[in-house]
Structure 1
Amino acid sequence: MEAKRALNEAGGDFGKAKKLLEQWGAASAAKRAGRTASQGVIEPYIHGGGQIGALVELDCETDFVARTEDFRNLAHEIAMHVAAMNPRYLSIDEIPEAEAGEVRQRLRDEAISKGKTAEIADRVAEGGFKKYLEQNVLLEQPYVRDDSKKIKQLVQEVATKTGENVLVKRFTRYQIGL
C-alpha cells in the first residue's frame, strides 16, 4: 500500500518513489526511537580459526521481533562486521570531544602544511573527519558485505520492516595476541 502511494506521489518515477519510501521509513523510525527497547539478543561471532571474536547486543521492543529471522540475521551480520572491521566506538556521540577536536586539528594542520588556504583546509579536515568516522564508528561504517550501505541503514531497514525500535546497544571485539 505504501509503495503504491509513493509511486502516485512521485508521478510514476521509481527513483523518486524509492526515496519517498526511505524518507517515510526514517520518519517512522524516528517516532519509534523514543520507545523502550528492552528485548533482544546477544550475538556471538567467532571468525575462522578462533583468533577473532565479537559479541553484539541488538535490542528491540518485543521478544516476538527478537526471534524473527530478519532480526537474528541483522545481529549476526553486525557481529561479523565488528570482527572484520574493528570499530572503536558505537556512535558519533561516544567519541570524546577532545579526540574529535585533535583529529580535526591534525587534519587541518596537515592541509595547511601542504599549502592549502584556511578555508580549503577546513573542508579537507571535515572530509578527513568523515573518513575517520567511517573507520572508527560502527554505525557510520560501510557494511562489509555491501559498502553502499552503512550499518545504521541496515538497522533502520530492520526497524522499518518490523515496525519496532531496533538498536545496537553495545559491542565488544576480541583478538588473540592483542
Structure 2
Amino acid sequence: MSNITAADVKKLRDQTGAGMMDCKKALVEAEGDYEKAIEILRTKGQKLSVKRAEREAKEGVVIAAVSDDKKNGVVIKLSCETDFVAKNEGFVDFAKKIASIALENLPESKEELGNLTIGDISISEKVVEQVGVIGEKIELAGYEKLSSDMVVPYIHMGYRAGVIVGLNSDDSKVEEAGKDVAMQVAAMKPVALDKDNVEQSVIDKEIEIGKEQARQEGKPEQILEKIALGKLNKFFQENTLLNQNFVKDSKATVREYLQSVDKNLTVTDFKHLMLG
C-alpha cells in the first residue's frame, strides 16, 4: 500500500472540498492513485445523491448577476436541505461560480448550464460531487437569463430570492429605477410583465373562478361573464408588473413611475427565482 502523506490528503481536500478523513479513506482505497481517489469521492457523492433523491431541498441560495456592460443577466438557484448549509461560505461561493459560468456562456437552459464545465468536470457532476462532500441533497434547481439595453440585478437578503430586470434604455440615470423595479418584483411576485403576457390558461382559470364566485353570491347567470371580466381586470392590476401599484409610491403604477423617470422608459422583461 502506498504511503499516504498529509500533503496528499490536503491536496485532495483542496481539489474536492471533501473532509480530511474522507480524502484519506479515498486515497487509501485508491492505493495512492490521486485521480482514482477523486473518482471514489465522486462515486460516493453519486450514491448519496440517489439515496437522498426523495428528500426536499427547500433551502439554498439564489444568485443574480449581470455582465460588465450590463447587457446580459442571469439568475440561478442552488438548493440544499438545510439553512446551515445555505449559509456556508463555500456553498455560496459555489453558487456564485455557477452564476459566473452561466453569465459567461449564456446557455439556453438549466440542462445546458449543467453540461458546462467547472474545472475539469461538468457543473452537474460537480453538484453531485458536493452531495458527497456536504452530506445532503443539493441540486441546481433553477436558471434564467435575460438580455436587454440594460439589465439590473437584485438579490434579496440572505440570498433567498434573485431578480433581473431588463430596461429599454442604457442611460445610467435609469439604473436606480431598475433597482426599484427589481425590488418590486421580489416583494410583489408578479406573474407577468403586462396583461398581454399572461398565459391564456391562467386567464381562462381566472374567468372561471370569477364566474363561480359570482354564482355563489347568487348573481344571475347572464351577467356572470361580465362580472368575471371585471375581476380579471383586477387580477391584471394586482399581478402584472407594469400595472401593479408601485411599492414606494402607491399612488402610481410601476408603469407611471418609470415614465416619471423617463417618458419612454419601460421594462422589457424580468426573471425571478426564489427559495421554497
The alignment of Structure 1 onto Structure 2 pairs a total of residues equal to: 130
Give the SS at the match of 2:262.
helix
Alpha-carbon distance in 1 for matches of 2:226, 2:166: 36
Q: Which of 167, 171, 176 in structure 1 is aligned with 2:266?
A: 167
Cα distance, 1:40 vs structure 2:
3.2
Higher relative contact order (CA 8 A, sep 6+): 1
Q: Which of 235, 240, 257 in structure 2 is aligned with 1:132?
A: 235
Letter paired with 1:168: V
Alpha-carbon distance in 1 for matches of 2:222, 2:246: 32
Q: Which of 204, 209, 216 in structure 2 is aligned with 1:106?
A: 209
The TM-score normalised by the length of structure 1 is 0.65
Alpha-carbon distance in 1 for matches of 2:253, 2:166: 18
Aligned to 1:11: none
Cα distance, 1:126 vs structure 2:
2.8
Alpha-carbon distance in 2 for matches of 1:168, 1:72: 12
Cα distance, 1:115 vs structure 2:
0.6
Aligned to 1:23: none
Letter paired with 1:143: F
RMSD: 2.1
Distance 1:118 1:159, change over 3 A: farther
Aligned to 1:55: 164
Q: Which runs of 5+ in 2 are unaligned?
A: 1-146
Q: Whose helix proportion is higher, 1 or 2? A: 1
Alignment of 1:1-178 (within 5 A): 40-60=149-169, 63=170, 66-68=171-173, 71-118=174-221, 120-160=223-263, 165-176=264-275, 178=276
The TM-score normalised by the length of structure 2 is 0.43
Cα distance, 1:121 vs structure 2:
3.3
Q: Which runs of 5+ in 1 are unaligned?
A: 1-37
Deviations 1:40-68 (A, max 9, x none): 321111122221221111112xx4xx112
Greater C-alpha Rg:
2
Report if aligned partners of 2:154, 2:179 keep a CA contact under 8 Å in 1.
yes
Alpha-carbon distance in 2 for matches of 1:46, 1:171: 14
Alpha-carbon distance in 2 for matches of 1:100, 1:174: 22
Give the SS at the match of 1:169.
strand
Q: Percent identity?
A: 28
Alpha-carbon distance in 2 for matches of 1:120, 1:146: 35
